[in-house]
Amino acid sequence: MGRKEKDAERLERKQQKLEASPISAKYPDVSSVVISMNYYQRNSTLVFMQRTVNFFPGSPAYFLMECVKHDCMGGGFDLDPVVTGMMKDHLESGKGELVCPGNNASGHARVDYTISIQYTK
């Protein structure tokens, strides 16, 4: 994997995020989504990084979180099916774990996540 490929992937994801509908258009009953994640390297049990991302009605409905490994291609953590399913079932909280599917020369990363959704109704 070269730098050009990684840069092209990054640009493509930025474009997808720009093109994503706002949450208010896709999910009009949602007032906020908070995704909290703990990142782990390989099979470690030590938290590598913690991250919280807040989404509001004007935010893009784009829930693909980047892999923290700089050399990872085709990876990341796609929380869209999780968030969409929660909204469909009108759930307010959920949690789980995802493993990065990318081809990462230095080993895969994983996250455990907690999602909180607030509804207007």
Q: What is the dihedral of CA 52, 58, 60, 65, to 10 degrees?
A: 0
Question: What pLDDT score was predicted for residue 18?
Answer: 67
CB–CB of 95/79 below 8 Å?
no
Q: Tell me the pLDDT tens digit for each residue of 60-71.
A: 999 999 887 777
Tokens, residue 26 = 């896709």
Q: Tell me the pLDDT tens digit for each residue of 68-113.
A: 777 787 888 999 999 999 999 999 999 999 988 887 655 578 899 9
Tokens, residue 61 = 């409905």
Determine the residue type at 94.
G
DSSP letter, residue 59: S
CB–CB of 99/69 below 8 Å?
no
Q: Which run of H or E residues covers position 116? A: strand 109-119
The model's confidence at residue 44, banded by pLDDT at 50, 70 and 90, is: confident
Compare 57 and 75 and report the one with higher pLDDT: 57
Q: Which run of H or E residues covers position 103? A: strand 103-104
Question: What pLDDT score was predicted for residue 112?
Answer: 95
Question: What pLDDT score was predicted for residue 70?
Answer: 73
Q: Please tell me the pTM assigned to this model.
A: 0.84
d(CA 64, CA 55): 13
